[in-house]
């Protein structure tokens, strides 16, 4: 029973993290295409520091990962539950390009 409750707690935490519109938009976009901070910033028209804060939260919860290539870090979604959830929830939403 404790293990099942822990699973629910983990999933509830993911829902809390995805509950912010900027993070939900970032995840939806990264499901479609890996991107760096500058690319996300250009699409969302938000300050780089704001994007970085949201990426940090997503990364801390294991939803995304960053792959370094020189000075640039490209982000992608790695949590399969999140991918399925966001695709189902935002079926008709346009990801950033």
Domain with 13, as residue range(s), is: 2-89
| Per-residue tokens: 54 | 């949201």
- Is residue 63 exposed (0-12), middle (13-18) or buried (19+ Cβ within 10 Å)? buried
Its pTM stands at 0.88
Closest CA to 64 of 47, 76, 50: 76
Counted domains in the chain: 1
Residue 11, domain CATH: 1.10.10.10
Note the pLDDT of residue 97.
Answer: 62
For residue range 28-46, what is the model confidence (pLDDT) as tens digits? 999 999 999 999 999 899 9
Please indicate, yes or no, if residue 96 is contained in any of the structural domains: no
Question: Per DSSP, what are the bridge partners of residue 69?
Answer: 72
Expressed in percent and rounded to 5, the helix, strand and coil fractions of the chain are: 60, 15, 25
Please indicate, yes or no, if residue 61 is contained in any of the structural domains: yes
Please indicate, yes or no, if residue 83 is contained in any of the structural domains: yes
Mean pLDDT score of the chain: 92
Give the rounded distance of the alpha carbon of 43 from its chain centre: 15
Please indicate, yes or no, if residue 94 is contained in any of the structural domains: no
């Amino acid at each position: 029973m404790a293990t099942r409750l822990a699973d629910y707690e983990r999933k509830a935490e993911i829902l809390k993290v995805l509950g912010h519109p900027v993070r939900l938009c970032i995840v939806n976009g990264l499901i479609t295409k890996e991107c760096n901070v500058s690319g996300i910033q250009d699409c969302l028209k938000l300050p780089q520091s704001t994007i970085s804060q949201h990426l940090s939260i997503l990364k801390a919860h294991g939803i995304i990962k960053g792959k370094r290539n020189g000075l640039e870090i490209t982000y992608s979604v790695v949590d399969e539950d999140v991918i399925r959830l966001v695709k189902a929830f935002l079926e008709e939403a346009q990801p950033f390009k």
